[in-house]
């Protein structure tokens, strides 16, 4: 009889997160912040002395979401900050790889996202309108990243991510920080949003 394959990951907090059946009790913000700060967007193919991390991207998406939906309550801003939280365990796969992997990747991502959401007081599944607004912020962030640090022309970026509203991204620049600094900024913003939700 074959030994079942391990489908869990030991986190630095000591938690053991089961990827096939994740539970909110095994989700810790310190693990998320640490993991995302060390996961590179664009498979690391960006300019600069540091990789552009998913933690930095998440901070930018939350800022953009706040500009798209300025009256949104803090819980939806928290949802924007956590929109890529599952990547602290499964990494950041570029879109072509996700397409090649197929629907199994999406199901895994959804299970992890639901556990993260419940852990921090959000609904397991976000309302459609909020998901659309976060996705819009995510695409604007991708356009900014593509043109500022990933070598895309504005025309090429607009082809893949859509032409962004320049007013929404006005005065924002991509920040490249050491992972420890990105981790600290992500953790701090998470704490601020939780405090606003009280």
Listed ranges 19-28, 85-94, 180-189; the one with the highest mean pLDDT: 180-189
Listed ranges 63-67, 102-106, 172-176; the one with the highest mean pLDDT: 63-67
Predicted TM-score of the model (pTM): 0.94
Q: What is the dihedral of CA 82, 91, 148, 131, to 10 degrees?
A: -30
Distance from the first to the final alpha carbon of the chain: 51
Shortest CA distance to 59 belongs to which of 80, 44, 35?
A: 80
| Segment 54-100, tens digit of pLDDT | 999 999 999 999 999 999 999 999 999 999 999 999 888 777 777 77
**Residues 6+ positions from 133 with CB-CB distance below 8 Å:** 65, 68, 69, 72, 76, 80
């Amino acid at each position: 009889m074959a030994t079942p394959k391990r489908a869990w990951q030991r986190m630095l907090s000591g938690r053991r997160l089961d990827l096939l059946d994740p539970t909110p009790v095994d989700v810790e913000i310190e693990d998320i912040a640490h993991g995302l700060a060390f996961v590179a967007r664009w498979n690391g193919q960006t300019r600069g002395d540091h990789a552009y991390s998913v933690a930095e991207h998440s901070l930018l998406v939350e800022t953009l979401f706040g500009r798209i939906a300025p009256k949104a309550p803090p819980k939806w801003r928290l949802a924007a900050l956590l929109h890529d939280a599952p990547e602290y365990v499964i990494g950041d796969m570029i879109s072509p790889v996700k397409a090649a992997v197929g629907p199994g990747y999406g199901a895994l991502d959804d299970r992890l996202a639901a556990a993260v959401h419940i852990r921090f007081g959000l609904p397991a599944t976000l309302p459609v309108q909020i998901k659309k607004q976060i996705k819009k912020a995510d695409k604007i962030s991708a356009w900014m990243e593509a043109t500022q640090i990933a070598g895309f022309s504005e025309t090429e970026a607009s082809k893949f991510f859509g032409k962004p509203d320049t007013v929404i991204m006005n005065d924002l620049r991509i920040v490249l920080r050491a992972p420890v600094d990105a981790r600290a900024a992500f953790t701090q913003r998470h704490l601020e949003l939780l405090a606003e939700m009280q």
